[in-house]
Amino acid sequence: MKIITVGHPTLRESVVPVNNINATFVNQINDMFKLMYNSNGIGLAAPQVNIKQKFFIVDTRETDEKLVCINPKIVSRLNQDVEMDEGCLSIPGVYGPVRRPKSVVVEFIDLDGKPQTLKAKGLLARVIQHEYDHLEGILFIDHLSEEYLKKISKELEEIQRKNREKK
């Protein structure tokens, strides 16, 4: 399992709901956590590892809780927007200011197959929104201003060039 980078078509494609939580799926989740930790990430969505299913994992390391969100749906975005620099494991070395709501409510199924509702704020809310965007084919760079995109265009082109060379 490896992280795919910007320019790979799966990052822009739609995903399908998870229908079966079995041993193979649990192993994928475990592999994703290992990969995320080895990459110094705090969230990872299925499309980032070329899996076209609707789930993501999060561990902000602010608490002892690892979060697995299967078939998530953000049901509300609360409070005012806050701007903060974001990065992404699929766009290595690139960061930019993104405005997002300070808190969200997300409904999802956990690894035990049980429905959950979580009200998240701060960094956890931001990571949930970032990973949820991946499930919609949206990257954090899509939230950046045109001016900022011009500023980082060389870095983005270099990542995509490396992607093409791997093929």
Give the pLDDT score at 49. Answer: 98
C-alpha to C-alpha distance for 124 and 118, rounded to whole angstroms: 10
Mean pLDDT by 10 residues, the chain (167 residues): 93 95 96 97 97 97 87 93 95 94 97 96 95 97 93 86 72
Q: In this structure, are strands 115-121 and 91-109 parallel, antiparallel, or unpaired?
A: antiparallel
Which class is domain 9-166?
alpha beta
C-alpha to C-alpha distance for 126 and 104, rounded to whole angstroms: 9
Give the pLDDT score at 76. Answer: 96
Q: Which two tokens stand for residue 159?
A: 């990542």
Give the pLDDT score at 64. Answer: 74
For residue 166, with 0-12 CB atoms within 10 Å meaning exposed, 13-18 middle and 19 or more buried, which class applies? exposed
In sequence order, what are the residues at sequence separation of 6 or more whose Cβ sits closer than 8 angstroms to the Cβ of residue 23? none
pTM (whole model) above 0.85: yes
**Annotated catalytic residue, options 62, 65, 83, 131:** 131
Give the pLDDT score at 167. Answer: 59
Give the pLDDT score at 164. Answer: 73
158 counts as catalytic: no
C-alpha to C-alpha distance for 24 and 22, rounded to whole angstroms: 6
